[in-house]
Chains A and B, each alone.
Chain A
Amino acid sequence: MEALGWWGVPLAVLGGAIRASTPFLFVSLGECLTEKSGRINLGLEGTLVMGAMSGYGIAYLTGWPWLGVVVAGSSGMALGALHGVVCSRPRVNDIAVGIALMLFGLGLAFYLGKPFIQPKAPRLPAIDLGWWSSSPQVRAALEVNVLFIVGAVLAPALLWALNNTRWGLAVRAVGDSADAARAMGYPVNRVRLLSTVAGGFLAGIGGSFLSLYYPGSWNEALSSGQGLMAVALVIFARWDPVLCFFAALLFGGAGALGPALQSVGITWGYYLFNAAPYVLTLLIMIATSSTRRTLIGAPGELSVTK
């Protein structure tokens, strides 16, 4: 710490951005895909926590953290399928279903997760990208989890797939004009269901990162609204997966501000700095909203932009 001094703050923020951005990244990629198909799934906060709990539980019981990741994704798929099926019914509002599902996911995770609060599950491995440095701060900042790399590859892959595959075109068509998609014979509800399921899968994996890597334990205050912030993040990223990646880094960095300042000895306002992601969310929503126009880049079928 003496060696770096105040330089430790941006470094710690960068390291924190890489570490804390992974759940944001996965949830926002999932939400981005779901919203591209024309539905909003606000239940991803519940999915995230459910993924964290189930992943942690399985990792603890079997000793295999990667199996935990898979199970976390699967529980996310189940919740996504529930959202997708309910919203396929006529005159069902996806926002209301999402909120209900968020509360359901949270409640279920807290109920099933009670026995896993104390025990210690094995953590996911990390890759040490800071081996070249002798500074412990640099090494700590560049210790990168595999899931982060997966997410970083997934973002451009998703963008490519949306533009260059049959499924991608179908998702965009259904999300931008259901009438047009229907006229061309695309099954609107099925495309949306599958997009929501895939989105839930990604959010569940984001949850497993929380409990199996950083912070790396299971408790009820684990997510503290990251699943909901990811919704704002998708809007900020203009429904572009690659921009979602950078926005997730920004949110992750904002979340790391408090601990980073604490590490250089600034103890006042710790909770204030910890609120940075929430303030950021609020500022983004204010900056991107307008009474006069709809959002640029928004899928035409979204219930909030129609």
Chain B
Amino acid sequence: MIKMRGGGVGVSARAGRFGGSVAETNAAPQRLQVAGMTKRFGSLVALDDISLTLEAGAFHALLGENGAGKSTLVKCVMGYHAPDKGTVILGGVEQTIRGPRDAHALGIGMVYQHFTLVPSMTVAENLLLARADLPMVIDRGAEGRRMQEFVKDMPFKVDLTAPVSALAAGEKQKVEILKQLYVDCRILILDEPTSVLTPGEADEILGLLHDMTMAGRLSVLMITHKLREVMAFADEVTVLRRGRLAGRGKVEKLTPRDLAEMMIGSSEIAAPAERAVQTNGRERLRLERLCADNDKGHRAVSNVSLFVRAGEIVGIAGVSGNGQTELVEVLAGQRESSAGTVTVHGEPYTATRAEMRRHKVFCLSEDPLRNACVSRMSVAENLAYRRFDEPPLTLGRWFLNRGAMRRAASDLITRYRITVSSPDAPAGTLSGGNVQRMVLARELSGEVDVLIAANPCFGLDIAAVAEIRAQIMRARNRGAAILLVSEDLDELFELADRLVVMFNGDLVYETEIAGADLATVGRYMAGH
């Protein structure tokens, strides 16, 4: 009852309800069972008879590839989807959950893959918003004091008065978790909680959660595809593959290899491409004191200078939101730089179509369906964007040669193994992996001198990732100068020849990959 202290009359008036929940604060979470969950979307079976038990105080990992049904399963638990079959049992009692509010009332809270914080509000306001019993008129003083008391008891430290838009990703993730604890959720579902964090931040947050489960204050169900996190933090694991149960067990009795096999089954993985030895190639791309502003008009890229030689992959590591997006947009011609120069082959480069063509500059943008495709136009048209205004795809330079365009597309579809019903299908109907293969086919099928790649494997399954990384390595071996911006350190360590770290718009660290150390890179990513 510590929280009642210091409150005035206004607090005690409402203390009845809140006081009740304070008593529950230290109560153990209940056991959560999911039984026979089945969910179909049209003809697609997203979940096929999945059962799972989250013991009280357990740290349970839900592992699987993208599209394996992990998110669908937890959304059924949270009441976002109505399952076709199956039940949620909490502490032995069957529950009907019609939406997140119902779930919260039962003490089940979810932290989503994308932040669900209101950016213009402060941390305190975001916590208040989450409360179901928020009074009509909010007594800021009393609420503030009560919140301070609450935070004092929590392992997560954040500034309650800071606006969320000013927080780093790791801090936002802490606020997300705090928010669930603040509304007394003792069963926490985390959807890929570390995808936007540095390794250091991820370990800190998962470690704190792990301690809380050990103390019996919390149960955690964590969706992930990172084997390392499962091995390090989880007690139990359930593996899904294409909507089916692929395995489960105690983590201590499993090896990463077992888990990987459960996850991908018998699907074929492309062997990583060999890194051909390159002698010092000629410099192709050079950025000189490049600056750019973000959409809010603040400096996002400041004085970035670097060069990339032919036959070399330079990786840019960094937590998302440190200016990488803006940097790539400048190089792709989607954003104006505010100062500095870009040169390709020693000539000034402003990403006009003529310059791209002359210097053979290509780009794998992040979120390709948004940045590199027109989703309502056909695959054939999307594949022709680089060359549609040149023979042989034109008739007399004025009209499009649809036949030639479709033939060129069919050829690329076979060569790059794009799964699509016909070249005339709209690009938006393709799966994530196939969209990236389509863009890859367009950008890498010709001669490439310079390639800008931004998170090329984000959100793809293991097979597609392996294939796309192999393609990028092959382009390097053919002599392309590649600038690879990625939030995935494994990817950078696998592909890059040289690594630079971007923090707060600045390049803060550079190393040859041979001598690079993960911990050091992680520290620079966090700004230390």
Contact = CB atoms under 8 A, between A and B. Distances in A.
Nearest to A174: B118
B138 interface: yes
Interface stretch (B4-12, B127-135, B409-417): B127-135
Nearest to A239: B120
Given A177-B119, A183-B112, A292-B293, A167 B136 contact: yes
Interface string A146-174: 00000000000000000011110110110
A183 B100 contact: yes
Interface in B125-148: 125-126, 128-130, 132, 134-138, 140
B178 to A, nearest CB: 14
Nearest to B104: A185
A293 interface: yes
A283 interface: no
Given A164-B138, A164-B140, A185-B132, A172 B118 contact: yes
Nearest to B134: A166
Contacts of B99: 185
Contact of B297 (A176, A185, A292): A292
B138 A173 contact: no
A167 B136 CA distance: 7
A292 B295 CA distance: 6
Contact of B120 (A166, A176, A179): A176
A293 B100 contact: no
Q: Which of B120, B128, B294, B296 has the most chain A CB within a 10 Å cutoff?
A: B120
Interface in A265-296: 290, 292-294, 296
Interface residues of A, number: 25
A232 interface: no
A293 B135 contact: no
B104 A180 contact: no
B110 interface: yes
A78 interface: no
Contacts of A184: 100, 116, 129-130
A165 B295 contact: no
A185 B108 CA distance: 13
A169 B296 CA distance: 23
B27 to A, nearest CB: 23
Give the interface residue-count category, chain B: 20 to 34
Contacts of A173: 118, 121, 129
Contact of A164 (B112, B116, B126, B137): B137
B116 A179 contact: yes
A170 B130 CA distance: 10
Given A185-B99, A294-B295, A180 B138 contact: no
Contacts of B101: 185
A176 B336 contact: no
A177 B294 contact: no
Given A173-B129, A179-B114, A294-B296, A166 B100 contact: no
B117 interface: yes
Contacts of A165: 136-138
A183 B138 CA distance: 21
A243 interface: no
Contacts of A11: none
A294 B294 CA distance: 9
Contacts of A183: 100, 110, 112, 116
A55 interface: no
Q: Which of A164, A180, A290, A292 has the most chain B CB within a 10 Å cutoff?
A: A180
B117 A180 contact: yes
Contacts, number: 76
Contacts of B134: 166, 169
Q: Which of B125, B129, B132 has the most chain A CB within a 10 Å cutoff?
A: B129
B449 to A, nearest CB: 29
B281 to A, nearest CB: 35
Contact of A169 (B104, B128, B336): B128
B140 A177 contact: no
B136 A172 contact: no
Contacts of A292: 293, 295, 297, 336
A185 B185 CA distance: 14
A293 B129 contact: no
A166 B115 CA distance: 22
Contacts of A296: 296-297
Q: Which of A166, A179, A294 has the most chain B CB within a 10 Å cutoff?
A: A166
A78 B116 CA distance: 33
A177 B118 contact: yes
A176 B118 contact: yes
A253 interface: no
A18 to B, nearest CB: 31
A292 to B, nearest CB: 6
A181 interface: yes
Interface in A38-76: none
A169 B130 CA distance: 10
Interface string B287-313: 000000111110000000000000000
A23 interface: no
Contacts of A166: 134-138
B181 to A, nearest CB: 14
Nearest to B140: A164
Given A176-B121, A180-B117, A300-B119, A293 B296 contact: yes
Contact of B116 (A167, A172, A180, A300): A180
Contacts of A293: 293-297
B129 A169 contact: yes
Nearest to A167: B136
Nearest to B101: A185
Contacts of A294: 295-296
A169 B138 contact: yes
Contacts of A167: 136
Nearest to B115: A180
Nearest to A180: B116
Q: Which of B114, B121, B128, B293 has the most chain A CB within a 10 Å cutoff?
A: B121
A183 B180 CA distance: 11
12 contacts: A166-B135, A169-B128, A172-B120, A173-B121, A179-B116, A182-B116, A183-B110, A184-B129, A290-B297, A292-B297, A294-B295, A300-B120
Q: Which 8 A-B pairs have the closest CB atoms?
A: A293-B297, A185-B101, A183-B116, A180-B116, A166-B134, A294-B295, A173-B118, A176-B118
